[in-house]
Chain A
Amino acid sequence: MAVYTDVLCPFCGCICDDIVVEVGEDGKITKVKGACAIGRSKIMGHDRMESPAIREDGELRDCSYDEAIKRAAEILADARRPLLYGWSSTVCETDRAGVELAVEIGAIIDNTASVCHGPSILAIQDVGLPSCTLGQIRNRADIVIYWGSNPVFAHPNHMKRYSYLSKGRFTPGGKKDRKMVVVDVRETKSAKLADLFVKVRPGGDFLVFSALRAILRGHEDVVPDEVAGVEKKDLLSLAEMIKNANFIITFFGMGVTHSGARHNNIANAIEFTRAAHLHTKATIMPMRGHYNVNGFNQVCTWLLGYPFSIDLSQGYPWYNPGETGAVDVLVHGECDAALIISSDPASHFPADAVRHLARIPVIQIDPYPNPTTEFADVVIPSAICGVEAEGSVYRMDSVPLRVRKIVDSKFMADEEIIRRILEEVRAIKEKEGE
């Protein structure tokens, strides 16, 4: 038996790095310690996609990697508006190959950010991001605000390792040295643990941020008695807490990015953080979901200048979420072929988008079957990054980390699959050029 310590968990944006994994004589993982339940199940592995396959007469027929890769390349080389989507639960090396493929075929390339924290990215580009690392929060934050996020469910280890419940250098008493504030439209499990819970009417976050900004800037006289279901006195006491704090962190989740004013909510949340700077140190951070959703955005930004939803059809990167996002081009019925990697749009996209996806040729690369497999035309199983393949990833606070390979696998790694498709596409184009 082999024991691996300090293993990184390739599931959520926390990327816990203190996991212990035991591997038996047969090379199979026998035990996972230190991870939360979701992380453990990801590392232990479950039902896999066993073989590459191509759909023929409505049925998936098993085939070789070579055959599946060739068919995928033919579909992509032929397409007039191909979409390459997913990229968040794989490593940056795969994402880099994906960008090369997108450039080669004039595709739209997009990751799951466009359906989760895309709005945050748009806002950050508009107004900047006063942020920090999770380590700073652990060591310094005396006020932790979870706004529209429910870490008890979505990021189980988050509070214990990095925020409210953790003990740090200047917060040795853990939660005794901190106050937790939850702002949400309903009283979640996380809200029940909070020192102050502020209940906002759905869609009202934007108004509350503006009111807090005006108060923090000394204009409480203009603010009415009630703002989006919140009494003015509660806003004043939250502002007072903020003014008296040493270090504030606001974690925001999909409750803010996907309601009401969406990305403008986040721009306003960031401006609220800035207004707090008139009094003390304040920071803000998105609660990113998939472990490497941030990594794709980093890779795209350094290679193409933009973080996601990039249209390369005219030979230069054109970035216009709302037009060039995966959901946009699917709902509008624009794209005529799609490659989906490590993602499941069939479960997470709006019905109109899924309907269009089911009508066009779809290539799927994933370790696991999921509802997208039901209509995929080419299916290519891959190794699990962080367990069977190594690579670079970016944590939710943009700290780069290296996930490891712990066990061997018969499956091809994501990066190799994408590079082989790219080679085939180039070969097809060369032939056409002759």
Chain B
Amino acid sequence: MRQIVFKLRDGALRSGAAEVPVDVSPLTPDKLFGEGEDEIKSTKVWWGNRQENVERIFEVSVSGDASGAEEVKVVFEGELRKVKRIGYEMSAGEIVAEGSVGMHCGARMRGGRITVNGSADCWAGCEMHGGTLIIEGDAGDNLCACYRGETTGMTGGTVVVKGNAGECIAQYMAGGEITVRGNADMLAGLDMKGGKIVIEGDAVMPGANMSGGEIIVKGKVIDMMPSFKYEETVTIDGEEYKKYRGDFAIGEKKAKGTLLIRS
């Protein structure tokens, strides 16, 4: 196992009164596999509008060996809220972030595993295609959704949020599975086409414009969409759920989404 630790240097992101975010998308197990310690330290990362050697911003320590990207583990330490794009487009290996992370964590990831021991800011797991993303705290808005202009969000993989999730999670979701242990804010599963979302807490206006897939809400639904049709009561794991079909706002033919609400 090869372990690479990036510890954010204190105050490294300060520029005057501002804290300028750093983009760590080059620091994934698959991209760093095969690189020597010096090469890793001099990897260029964007900090604001200029590129810097990663060593200027992080203390870097490298240990062990790997015969493939799956055997590479990358660890981020320090105050990570201004560290963006952790695990961006990653395809293999493991990343652990010790603390709350900045935007786009695990976005466009295809494989491997990311664990965030804290909360993740907006766009975590955005357009994710595969792999596993575990967020121990809360997730921000647009979790597992898509970037502006796209019409397909998450297509595969597994995401677990142990806290609450923000607005518009899983917008245009087409595949994969998301579990939110807490509540989901407004419009979870907006424009959803496929895949599955389990919300163990409450949800606000879930399933708008849904044309496929399944949303299960175990808590309360606040502001139920007025364009869903009640079909029947079903039993899942010994619990009764009301089953709705929608969204009829997009027309009957396309309304193939399923919304299950615990009664």
Seen from chain A, the residues whose Cβ lies within 8 Å of a Cβ on chain B are: 79-82, 105-107, 122, 125-126, 204, 206-207, 209-211, 213-214, 217-219, 221-224, 227-228, 260-261, 264, 268, 271, 275, 312-314, 319-323, 332-337, 356, 359-361
Contacts and interface: CB of A to CB of B under 8 A. Distances in A.
Contacts of B15: 79-81, 336
Contacts of A361: 16
A319 B148 CA distance: 8
Contacts of A321: 148
B252 A264 contact: no
A320 B148 contact: yes
Contact of A210 (B47, B186, B249): B249
5 contacts: A210-B208, A264-B187, A264-B190, A268-B249, A334-B18
B49 interface: yes
Contact of A125 (B46, B148, B250): B148
Contacts of B46: 313-314
A42 B149 CA distance: 38
Nearest to B122: A322
A106 B46 CA distance: 12
Contacts of A312: 49
A379 B141 CA distance: 38
Contacts of B248: 214, 217, 219, 222
Interface string B14-51: 01111111010000000000000000000000111110
B198 to A, nearest CB: 22
Interface of B: 15-21, 23, 46-50, 82, 103, 122-123, 141-142, 147-149, 151, 168, 186-187, 190, 205, 208-209, 223, 225-229, 247-252
Nearest to A313: B49
A336 B249 contact: no
Given A125-B149, A271-B249, A261 B205 contact: yes
A207 B205 contact: yes
B50 A222 contact: no
Nearest to A121: B148
Contacts, number: 128
B49 A207 contact: no
Contacts of B226: 207, 210-211, 214, 222-224, 227
A80 B20 contact: yes
A206 B208 contact: yes
Given A207-B226, A360-B16, A106 B122 contact: no
Contacts of B123: 320, 323
A271 B211 CA distance: 15
A226 to B, nearest CB: 9
Given A223-B227, A264-B187, A360 B18 contact: yes
A39 to B, nearest CB: 35
A323 B251 CA distance: 34
Nearest to B246: A222
Interface centre among A122, A228, A264 (most CB of B within 10 A): A264
Q: 3 closest Cβ contacts across the A-B interface?
A: A106-B49, A80-B48, A336-B18
A219 B16 CA distance: 58
A218 B250 CA distance: 11
Contact of A81 (B48, B228, B250): B48
Contacts of B228: 222
A271 B247 CA distance: 13
B119 to A, nearest CB: 15
A154 B149 CA distance: 31
